[in-house]
Amino acid sequence: MCGIAGYFGLSERPVAVREAMLAALRQRGPDAQHAVGFGRSGQRLAEPGAAPNALLHARLSIMDPRPEADQPMASPDGQVWLCYNGEVYGWHGDRAALERQGFPFRTHSDTEFILNGYLAWGLEGLLPRLRGMFAFCLVDWRVGKVWLVRDRMGLKPLLYTHDGESLAFASLLRALLPSLDAAPRLNPDSLDAFLAHRYVPAPLTIFDGVHRLENGHYLEFDLASRKLRKVCYWTPHARSHGAWENVLDEAIRIRTYADRPMGLFLSGGIDSSTVACRLAEMGMSSFRTFSASFPGTRFDESDLAAEIAGRLGFPNTAVPIDPERLPDFERLIADLDEPFADPSAMPTWRLSEAVSREVKVVLGGDGGDELLAGYKRIDQHLRHAWRGDARLPLPTPAGVAKRGWRKWVGELGMGWRDAYALRFSGFAPHQRAWLQPGRRIERPHYWRLPEAADRSPRETLLAIDMLNYLPEYILRKGDLCTMAHGLELRAPLLDHVLVETLMALPPEQRFTRPAKQLFASVSTPLASLQLFDRPKKGFNPPLERWLAAELAPRLPGLGERLASSTGGQLERARVDAITDAYRARQVPAEQLMQLVMLDESLRQLREAGGGGEK
């Protein structure tokens, strides 16, 4: 697990650019940082200095922590280079085959496996053999090509810019900004997308000309023509790989290898408890479990998590998270990289901070809801599936209030599939139109929609979640909050082989009520706890208290600041009216918090050299 960055151009870039990019990555890779510079023809420079091409790497050492496994890593002849973030699993059999073919291995790192795998099979032969999470840059000076690759499910981030001549990339937006020749402008569509979704969906970022590579895609950059080509190499599809129980166990087992201490995020919910049961069945008694504790709230499941851990023989640590105490707000916003307004990021960030002091790798239960239809909003939206593409051409209502008839007007103005975006959204379409007078509001907004196929309505909604909400919201939050503290998070339920296998199950087996009964057969030690009959619990931080206390000084002048930082796209008086509407209980605290987080994020990005009213 690491942070990566680099650039490929025709002009030399100052040393300060490289140093600023590497500094922005350091928290993702605190164990080692390296830079390699190349001349125009690909020769490695003795000192990276002011090079036109460079690869940068900040390492969190998990597999083979020796310096020999540091990156960027080169082929024996120095013509092929790899700069890689992530972990791939189950590759040792392929390594043995490579060794028999004469490919040398100096380490037992997956980095060297990927590099030798490319030398043996090429990119198209390598990708099907990669099982796990990854974002990497592969440079082959022999053929004059650069490839940027993001994993199938989107667990690892990868951002890039291409101006027709130069290509630059990084794990973080803030690591990419120093490579730009001028401060970028805010992308008006991205700002509106943030208002709609509480995050900026791929392939957009908040800045015009800066892009986020979609999951399951790679880029090919030709160093001679300077042309960039994007390829989708994988989409979720049904394909059985054997009995799902065996595939589940394999997906968990191959993620238990590390040269650093490991643990498990155990929430007390079905998904993480299922992972815990399978670990216990495999005899992984060395694992430690960690649970967030919210004392005195209805969200606290730490007692249940402790009972689960006790039954399975795992030592459990409850991490108390005082819901009344706001984390370091400016640090949190910085760690979220660009505008991102999920309130649950705050306890996730706190839990990761505490756990990183004890272990360097944790398994989690992300993915169960998207695979087995665990969200309540899915059933709620299915009630209206009869509408199909029918829509009413209703006028956009005016005003700021979110509730009441305005919500139904917005939904009826879309087809049924498109309107699913409103089931989990920030500002409703009429509110976005009101905040941005004169701007035409798109409905739905910037969601990747599945191609037409023979899917049931439920499968259609799950496909939308897996293309959007899962990679760009759930997994982005998990990556940013854990890597902010040098902690690697692994997600066995999102193993792509398991995903394909579960998608191939008969609907009556995959979709149950209560949800996820499928996992009951592999969680029998916990049967008496009736986990599958318990209502799903989330955690909603006390936003009202924070807005009345620690964040209260940020409310005066909020409209003026946001009008300035967005070049007038958000109207000052109407932003301030959101504050008044919140106090009058006409809009929820989440919406005001979304604007407060946007304000701080844009301020930080402007100071880092990006965007604003420039």
Asked whether residue 217 falls in the same domain as residue 282, the answer is no
Residue 46 lies in a domain: yes
Asked whether residue 209 falls in the same domain as residue 287, the answer is no
Asked whether residue 249 falls in the same domain as residue 162, the answer is no
What's the pLDDT at 614? 32
Q: Which of 4-8, 62-66, 231-235 has the lowest mean pLDDT?
A: 62-66
Residue 481 lies in a domain: no
Residue 377 lies in a domain: no
What's the pLDDT at 70? 92
Judge whether residue 173 has pLDDT over 90: yes
445 in Cβ contact with 193 (< 8 Å) = yes
Judge whether residue 444 has pLDDT over 60: no
Judge whether residue 109 has pLDDT over 90: yes
List the beta bridge partners of residue 488.
361
CA-CA distance, 169 to 3, in Å (whole number)? 11
Residue 193 lies in a domain: no
Output the CA–CA distances (angstroms, integers) from residue 49 to 14, 15, 19, in the order listed.
7, 5, 10
What's the pLDDT at 454? 74
Asked whether residue 300 falls in the same domain as residue 217, the answer is no
Segment 394-399 mean pLDDT: 70
Asked whether residue 326 falls in the same domain as residue 307, the answer is yes
Residue 382 lies in a domain: no
256 in Cβ contact with 63 (< 8 Å) = no
CATH number at residue 101: 3.60.20.10
- Average pLDDT over the chain, rounded to an integer: 91
Asked whether residue 514 falls in the same domain as residue 581, the answer is no
Nearest residue to 232 (alpha-carbon basis) of 246, 247, 219? 219
Output the CA–CA distances (angstroms, integers) from residue 226 to 144, 166, 167, 299, in the order listed.
10, 7, 8, 53
Q: What's the pTM? A: 0.95
Residue 208 lies in a domain: yes
Residue 159 lies in a domain: yes
Asked whether residue 13 falls in the same domain as residue 117, the answer is yes
CATH number at residue 314: 3.40.50.620
Confidence of residue 440 (pLDDT cuts 50, 70, 90): confident
What's the pLDDT at 120? 97
Asked whether residue 81 falls in the same domain as residue 169, the answer is yes
Structural domain tally of the chain? Answer: 3
Structure token pair of residue 583: 């106090």
Instruction: State phi, psi for 210 to the nearest 5 degrees.
Output: -110, 130
3-state SS of the chain: helix, strand, coil percent to 5?
40, 15, 45
The pLDDT tens digits for 504-517 are 999 999 999 889 99
Asked whether residue 512 falls in the same domain as residue 599, the answer is no
Asked whether residue 510 falls in the same domain as residue 589, the answer is no
Judge whether residue 88 has pLDDT over 50: yes
Judge whether residue 612 has pLDDT over 50: no
Confidence of residue 452 (pLDDT cuts 50, 70, 90): low
Residue 433 lies in a domain: no
The pLDDT tens digits for 30-55 are 999 999 999 998 999 987 778 999 99
Asked whether residue 109 falls in the same domain as residue 161, the answer is yes
- Of 486, 514, 533, the domain-final residue: 533
CA-CA distance, 541 to 326, in Å (whole number)? 9
What's the pLDDT at 441? 81
- Of 481, 515, 533, the domain-final residue: 533
Asked whether residue 508 falls in the same domain as residue 570, the answer is no
pLDDT, greater one: 463 or 448: 463
- Of the chain, the percentage scoring pLDDT greater than 70 comes to 95
Burial (CB count within 10 angstroms: exposed 0-12, middle 13-18, buried 19+), residue 96: exposed
The domain containing residue 583 runs over which residues?
Answer: 543-607
- Please list, residue by residue across 3-37, b when 16 or more beta carbons sit within 10 angstroms of its beta carbon and e when fewer do: bbbbbbbeeebebebbebbbebbebbbbbbbbbbb
CA-CA distance, 116 to 129, in Å (whole number)? 12
The pLDDT tens digits for 297-323 are 777 788 899 999 999 999 999 998 877
